[in-house]
A = this chain, B = another copy of it.
Amino acid sequence: MANSPDAVTTQQVSALPHVVIVGGGFAGLATAKVLANQAVRVTIVDQHNFHTFLPLLYQVATAGLEPADVAYPIRTIFGHAPNVGFRHGQVRAVDHQRSLVVLDDASEITFDHLVVATGATAAYFGIPGASQFALPLYSLADARRLRNRLLLSLEAADALPEGSSPQLNYVVVGGGPTGVETSGALAELIRIAIRRDGLRIDESKVRVILVDLASRLLTAFPPSASAYAARELTGKGVEVHCGRSVVEVQEHAIRFSDGEQIDTAAVIWAAGVTASGTLAYDLAVTPGAGGRARVTNDLRVVESANVWAVGDAAAVPLNAAEYCPQLAPVAIQSGHHCGQQILRVLRGEATQPFHYRNKGIMATIGRNEAVAKLPGGIIIRGRAGWLAWLSLHLFYLIGFRNRLRVMINWTWRYFDWPSGPRLIVADAETVD
């Protein structure tokens, strides 16, 4: 095996075994990083030419960060690995017989090994109107759309004649980390827009409501952390409605199980995830839970020798009874493991089972407030939790420049300087 970058030149690459990775998220990139500068040819296929750092999307949606702060060109990430290429496009189908994938433009790419890392998207649980009218937060496009909707709703309220300030209700559905983070940041955005940007909106007529079916927020954390999050959010002006479910979403309204219906300026959907698209689902004869691909413990799709599934697209076994949670660390670890197993197979060695190493979970509530659960159940909260969260996110952010940009943006916000990027970019896009 070649272990140094110089060992593989572009000339030699085309004769090497071809690994096609579908999806440039955490899992796909982790797989590719293992295979970079090894004796394989790698092609990452993605409909976007950039990786999106999903944990910070809510910051783009609430105008704290710019799209470029959380997106990074895939070609640039592997600029120094001559054996890793990129193909801009979407995979439509897998032909197991002929060992090839078919793209949306009908072109075909043959593979020796295929890694399906197509990720997750919002789950609507069949709630009427949810997929049509609620705004999810699973792509850069989602984040931009949500930001534009939020800012335009505030501008529209401002434009009304003096004294006719309308009721503005923003409902966030889902009390997990995404819902908690988004509702907290949204309350901050609205406060800044009114108090500092001078929008003529009656603050008492603006509500941010966080709804969850469960009896408490952040159910993956212990109850004390949930109570802390609820208290902090309430302090920011968020109304926390636990034990309440949504039965219908309309264009400008939401209806709850208790019969109450309220008008809405926006409904943000953070209620759960399902595998993205049908590619993973279609892979195996027996599909896995939540539209995910069923995989054996080495991460190969069941009944396949050279097709693998990783990250949110795979139902990764945690133990005999459970699957791994759909989290970024699982995506990264499973992608890494998959890359190593492909190298083992190519060397004629037996594969090893995947074991998830729990690194803890985190949720941020606002500046200075976060909660982290470390392995062993240790809870960190407040400023220490926030710093832990910040360090972890900056560590994961790919590329020094992105880290620097995000650090600058956050420093600014932290010190409350009046220059957040509250641009309504949809404006610009509707011109054409």
A89 within 8 A of B: yes
Contact B48–A424 (Cβ < 8 Å): yes
A188 within 8 A of B: no
Contact A79–B140 (Cβ < 8 Å): no
The verdict on A76 contacting B140 (CB below 8 Å), with A198-B82, A405-B408 known, is no
Contact A76–B197 (Cβ < 8 Å): yes
Among A352-360, A380-388, A415-423, the one that faces the other chain is A415-423
A344 within 8 A of B: no
Task: Give A418's nearest chain B residue, CB to CB.
Answer: B79
Inter-chain contacts of A48 with B (CB < 8 A): 424, 427-428
A155 within 8 A of B: yes
Q: Which of A78, A85, A159 has the most CB of B within 10 A?
A: A159
Task: Give A73's nearest chain B residue, CB to CB.
Answer: B422
* A 151-187 binary contact with B (CB < 8 Å = 1; else 0): 1100110110010000000000000000000000000
Contact A50–B198 (Cβ < 8 Å): no
The verdict on A141 contacting B49 (CB below 8 Å), with A107-B159, A159-B87, A197-B76 known, is no
Among A64-72, A234-242, A302-310, the one that faces the other chain is A64-72
Inter-chain contacts of A78 with B (CB < 8 A): 198
A401 within 8 A of B: yes
A404 within 8 A of B: yes
A15 within 8 A of B: no
Contact A68–B71 (Cβ < 8 Å): no
A395 within 8 A of B: no
A345 within 8 A of B: no
Bound-state Cα–Cα, A140 to B429, Å: 9
A255 within 8 A of B: no
Task: Give A200's nearest chain B residue, CB to CB.
Answer: B85
Contact A423–B139 (Cβ < 8 Å): no
Inter-chain contacts of A156 with B (CB < 8 A): 88
Contact B198–A141 (Cβ < 8 Å): no
Inter-chain contacts of A425 with B (CB < 8 A): 67, 140
Inter-chain contacts of A67 with B (CB < 8 A): 66, 423, 425, 428
Contact A432–B88 (Cβ < 8 Å): no
B-contacting residues, A250-279, CB 8 Å: none
A412 within 8 A of B: yes
Q: Which of A49, A82, A162, A405 has the most CB of B within 10 A?
A: A49
Inter-chain contacts of A139 with B (CB < 8 A): 428, 431
The verdict on A49 contacting B155 (CB below 8 Å), with A73-B197, A428-B140 known, is yes
Inter-chain contacts of A418 with B (CB < 8 A): 76, 79-80
Inter-chain contacts of A14 with B (CB < 8 A): 162
- Offer 23 A-B interface pairs, CB within 8 angstroms, sorted by A: A49-B423, A49-B424, A50-B423, A67-B428, A68-B423, A71-B423, A73-B197, A75-B422, A80-B418, A82-B198, A85-B200, A88-B152, A88-B158, A88-B424, A89-B159, A105-B159, A139-B428, A140-B428, A141-B427, A141-B428, A144-B428, A144-B429, A401-B412
Q: Give 6 closest A-B pairs by Cβ, nearest first.
A: A141-B428, A75-B197, A88-B155, A66-B68, A401-B419, A141-B431
13 A-B pairs besides A76-B197, A88-B159, A405-B408 with CB distance below 8 A are A49-B423, A67-B423, A71-B421, A71-B423, A73-B421, A76-B419, A78-B198, A79-B197, A88-B424, A107-B159, A141-B428, A402-B419, A408-B408
